[in-house]
């Protein structure tokens, strides 16, 4: 792990920086590269702009490790409000939610119940006639969404719902998060799980998920982990990422209808995955793959992929507890620091 990445992760864990750096004007200005604002209304406005380009969005309120039931339920209520606002804005509701926001640290059952409430809110109540067949895996969701649709569906139409992603946190949470995903996805087919290529265990985790119609977001990872658990070198993380892409686009995975969102800003990696996908018969919209990026990073690449017909979704974060999240985003790809500097001084 490089010194720059180590320093950024350490900064994300510093209580003093968390309490002071968010007040510094230059830090707040730099953070706008990744966050359109602290309110969910700011994120909705950004999502609406992206929709005009045929790019879908996932919203995520920054913050984690909630410590009591009242806070966890308040976060759940907030996400339900956001889902309603997304429907009202003509956007498919798609969220990325950290389980520790919903109570996983102290009550796994409460966390699961809170997630159930979020999923039920994403069903667009009163629009699906009782005689209508349930939504199938290929009739909706962020990865195969129709970018031309700008308004909610009418009565009698199949409802297109964005995927609600269960985010992955540090390695200490992987087993609990995977168990939560398996339980939730058994009830809600538009559920996604995030996996991290820097963890040495991830190939085995993917093998265990392939038989279960999994929807997977593949990221590189941005928590501090010991070398015994995670690859310390960027080159190894990148090669692990592509090896996992190969596994996720293998015949067993495609036959099992596994869908994958490749979350990366690396144009070389994206081109390798595009060529691999084409060699496996995966060709753009309506297939089992898509690409995801962060708000404000490689906007040119986002637009090009969307123009070429690949499903593209952008993660838009918001909220007041943004400093640790911001430092981890820089640590995921230290080259992001260059984008920030250009934004500050360019």
Is residue 217 part of the annotated active site? The answer reads yes
Task: Identify the active-site residue in 33, 61, 161, 167.
Answer: 167
Distance CA 118, CA 139 (A): 20
Cβ neighbours around 336 below 10 Å, total: 21
Please, are residues 56 and 104 in contact by the beta-carbon 8 Å criterion?
A: no
Distance CA 213, CA 257 (A): 6
Task: Identify the active-site residue in 61, 217, 329, 333.
Answer: 217
Is residue 42 part of the annotated active site? The answer reads no
Q: For each of the chain's 346 residues, which pLDDT tens digit applies?
A: 455 555 555 555 556 555 545 555 655 555 566 778 889 999 999 999 999 999 999 999 987 778 899 999 999 999 999 999 999 999 989 999 999 999 999 999 999 999 999 999 987 554 433 333 333 343 344 454 443 433 433 333 333 568 999 999 999 999 999 999 999 999 998 899 999 999 999 999 999 999 888 899 999 997 889 999 999 998 999 999 999 999 999 999 999 999 999 999 999 999 999 999 999 888 766 678 999 999 988 999 999 999 999 999 999 999 876 566 566 666 665 555 555 444 444 4
> For residue 87, what are the CA distances in angstroms to 118, 152, 303, 313?
14, 6, 24, 17
DSSP secondary structure string for all residues of 32-82: TTT-S-SSHHHHHHHHHHHHTTT-EEEEEE------SHHHHHHHHHHHHHH
pTM of the shown model: 0.80
Q: Which domains does the chain have, with CATH numbers?
A: 36-321 (3.20.20.220)
Distance CA 141, CA 93 (A): 9
């Amino acid at each position: 792990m490089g010194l720059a990445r180590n320093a950024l992760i350490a900064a994300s864990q510093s209580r003093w920086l968390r309490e002071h750096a968010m007040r510094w004007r230059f830090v707040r200005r730099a953070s706008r590269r990744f966050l359109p604002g602290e309110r969910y209304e700011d994120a909705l406005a950004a999502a609406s702009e992206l929709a005009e380009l045929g790019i879908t969005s996932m919203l995520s309120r920054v913050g984690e490790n909630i410590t009591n039931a009242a806070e966890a339920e308040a976060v759940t209520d907030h996400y339900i409000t956001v889902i309603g606002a997304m429907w009202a804005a003509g956007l498919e509701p798609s969220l990325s939610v950290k389980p520790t926001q919903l109570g996983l640290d102290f009550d796994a059952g409460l966390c699961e119940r809170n997630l159930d409430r979020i999923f039920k809110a994403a069903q667009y109540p009163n629009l699906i006639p009782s005689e209508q067949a349930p939504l199938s895996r290929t009739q909706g969701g962020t990865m195969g969404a129709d970018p031309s649709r700008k308004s909610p569906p009418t009565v009698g139409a199949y409802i297109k719902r964005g995927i609600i992603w269960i985010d992955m946190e540090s390695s200490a949470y992987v087993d609990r998060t995977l168990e939560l995903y398996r339980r939730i996805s058994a009830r809600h087919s538009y559920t996604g799980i995030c996996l991290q290529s820097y963890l040495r265990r991830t190939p085995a985790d993917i093998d265990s998920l392939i038989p279960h119609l999994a929807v997977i977001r593949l990221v590189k990872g941005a928590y501090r982990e010991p070398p015994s658990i995670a690859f310390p070198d960027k080159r190894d993380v990148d090669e692990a990422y592509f090896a996992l892409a190969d596994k996720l686009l293998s015949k067993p995975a495609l036959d099992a209808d596994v869908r994958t969102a490749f979350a990366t800003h690396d144009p070389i990696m994206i081109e390798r995955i595009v060529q691999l996908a084409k060699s496996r018969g995966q060709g753009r919209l309506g297939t089992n793959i898509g690409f995801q990026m962060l708000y404000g990073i490689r906007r040119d690449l986002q637009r090009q992929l969307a123009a070429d017909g690949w499903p593209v979704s952008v993660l838009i974060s918001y909220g007041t507890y943004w400093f640790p999240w911001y430092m981890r985003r820089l640590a995921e790809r230290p080259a992001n620091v260059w984008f920030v500097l250009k934004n500050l001084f360019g």
